[in-house]
A and B are shown apart, each in its own frame.
Chain A
Amino acid sequence: MSARLNRTNVIAAHGVLILYVLIALFPVFVIVINSFKSRRAIFREPLALPDAESFSLIGYETVLKQGDFFLYFQNSMIVTVVSLFFILLFGAMAAFALAEYRFRGNTMMGLYLALGIMIPIRIGTVAILEMMVSTGLVNTLMALILVYTAQGLPLAVFILSEFMRQVSDDLKNAGRIDGLSEYRIFFRLVLPLVRPAMATVAVFNMIPIWNDLWFPLILAPAEEVKTLTLGSQVFIGQFVTDWNAVLSALSLAILPVMALYVIFSRQLIRGLTSGAVK
């Protein structure tokens, strides 16, 4: 390290990174500290830390009492985890096919899938809604899972196929000569080696899905299938907003997504350090 970077550069680099972290985390910090304050204290001194006088758990009490917050949590969790599972499963399989097999239209198929990265899925909202209505999937978690899976697949295929091309051909061929089926080669040999890429794809997709308001509002606004982001909206009224409750709900919403992130990032590091061929 010291041989390649001098002290000034190290300090400058860390300075820039620390500054960026502060800027990025500041809104989160404000939300969390204000969620522990009384309503008056939030407006009088928004940036002050909660002290003995301003400390209040009223927001959390409201959140836990009103509405079915546990259910919203559960819905968000189901939608996010199942969508990620499908994105990774189908994305990896499609990527394997594109990377491994020579067939007519391989390149066209790759380009077609890459197109999905450039065209936002929300453009098709009306068509999607019509489709969901005619299939009777409106107000089900399945509707959200399908939409998010479709939304996440293009990027997943794009990233994973790049990584799968780097997996040693010899390893796959050794499997074929030993009589492993293509599925076993895919699941047992290739997937473990592209785990870092899988973790990247999961992290990329997880946050937008968890935070999305658009599709839950349009496709699944019913009480029993509300997601956390949509559920939090009950505290935001046209004339009065219960800021304590909103901030508390948002603070709570950070926790599960953080837990998921920790799981994936550990995979990411473990994947990078595991030995493969050679």
Chain B
Amino acid sequence: MTAMKLENVSKSFGPVEVLRDISLTVEDGEFVVFVGPSGCGKSTLLRVIAGLEDATEGTVTIGDEVVNHIPPAKRGIAMVFQSYALYPHLNVRDNMGLGLKQEGQPKSVITERVAKASRMLSLDDYLTRRPSELSGGQRQRVAIGRAIVREPKLFLFDEPLSNLDAALRMNTRVEIADLHRTLSAAMIYVTHDQTEAMTLADKIVVLRDGRVEQIGSPMELYNNPANRFVAGFLGSPSMNFLKHALQDRADVTLGIRPEHLRLGGAGRVQGRVTHVERLGGDTNLLVRTSADERLTVRLFGQHDASVGDDLALDYDDQHAFYFDADDQRIAS
């Protein structure tokens, strides 16, 4: 059964088209990530699903109900915001319980669900505190708790980890993945961070300029990108694009991921090291090729390359991608 379905959704603000003809489905229990650079319309799309913005055209279906004209609170959704958006005048318990109170749930239900959520998120010690007395990570957990207690059909996350520091981001990412396993509700998650997209998603929707570029599982998109944009957006460090690597075909760009380049071999790519990043587990070499293009090589383990070294690089043909002049993927 589908949890959410968009059909030909468009949205414009005056003359500015933000979303163009977007159709997609989210199955029950699926974790879908909208990813794209800033300004691609991913947050607007989420707000259209939430009902905070009206779609200019198209229909939004949640469960089996068309919700275009239903207010956000009655759509059976819950949302977690980037800036947490906790109510500053309420303590943690009331922050989590407010939505249920507005629904008119009896007190016993509210108490029980808040207790369950706070146990799940280990917030028990903080229930009487105000948001201003909590750390960033705790506030984000309260925001997630506020969503959980509603027991929605669909969770919406709007860049929930952007305000956290790196270590906390990793932990919270794992917590969200755990949460998804425990609740088995459908979730839609918006981010500009490809790592979050790759690690969390069952299905990734790549957006650019208000259009869907490609939809698929993380590995499908990684192994089989439809065009140069998707290829370059997913994977870190991002894919190298070499315009002059294929001498005989001037209009074809070769795409090769940094981890698929290796030293030596036939030496189809020649270059000189311009910078070395040593990460311990990996070594990244930034190289300027003989055709004066920049590329990144990701080598596993530690290498004692230094700036100015001349390198001969090679790759397996099965890992090479080819793009035509319009940036579309072509077979060979």
Interface residues of A (CB under 8 A from B): 102, 168, 170-171, 173-180, 188-189, 192-193, 274-278
Q: Across the interface, name the chain A residue whose C-beta is closest to B133.
A: A275
Q: Roughly how many angstroms separate A4 CA and B41 CA in the complex, as a whole number? A: 43
| 6 A-B pairs (CB sep. < 8 Å) | A170-B82, A175-B87, A177-B50, A177-B72, A178-B146, A274-B88
Query: A178–B73 contact, CB under 8 A?
Result: yes
The verdict on A277 contacting B73 (CB below 8 Å), with A170-B82, A177-B78, A177-B99 known, is: no
Most buried by A among B13, B71, B89: B89
Contacts of B321 in A (CB 8 A): none
Q: Roughly how many angstroms separate A178 CA and B110 CA in the complex, as a whole number? A: 14
Most buried by A among B84, B85, B86: B85
B131 within 8 A of A: yes
Query: A176–B88 contact, CB under 8 A?
Result: no
B247 within 8 A of A: no
**In the complex, number of A-B residue pairs with CB atoms less than 8 Å apart:** 77
Query: A179–B103 contact, CB under 8 A?
Result: yes
B222 within 8 A of A: no
Query: A177–B79 contact, CB under 8 A?
Result: yes
Q: Roughly how many angstroms separate A192 CA and B163 CA in the complex, as a whole number? A: 24
Q: Roughly how many angstroms separate A175 CA and B130 CA in the complex, as a whole number? A: 17
Q: Roughly how many angstroms separate A191 CA and B199 CA in the complex, as a whole number? A: 40
Chain B contact residue count (CB 8 A cutoff): 32
Indicate which residue in B52, B74, B130, B132 contacts A173 across the interface (CB closer than 8 Å). B52
Query: A179–B99 contact, CB under 8 A?
Result: yes
Contacts of B229 in A (CB 8 A): none
Q: Across the interface, name the chain B residue whose C-beta is closest to A178.
A: B99
Interface residues of B (CB under 8 A from A): 13, 47, 50-52, 71-74, 77-79, 81-89, 98-99, 102-103, 130-132, 136, 146, 158, 163
Q: A171-B83, A173-B85, A275-B132 are in contact. List 12 more A-B contacts (CB 8 A).
A: A168-B85, A171-B85, A173-B79, A173-B81, A174-B86, A174-B146, A176-B52, A177-B50, A177-B52, A177-B99, A274-B132, A278-B163
Query: B71–A178 contact, CB under 8 A?
Result: no
Closest Cβ of chain B to A177, distance in Å, is 5
Most buried by B among A168, A171, A278: A278
Contacts of A175 in B (CB 8 A): 87
The verdict on A188 contacting B89 (CB below 8 Å), with A177-B99, A178-B98, A275-B131 known, is: yes
Closest Cβ of chain B to A166, distance in Å, is 12
Contacts of B89 in A (CB 8 A): 188-189, 192
Most buried by B among A174, A189, A274, A277: A174
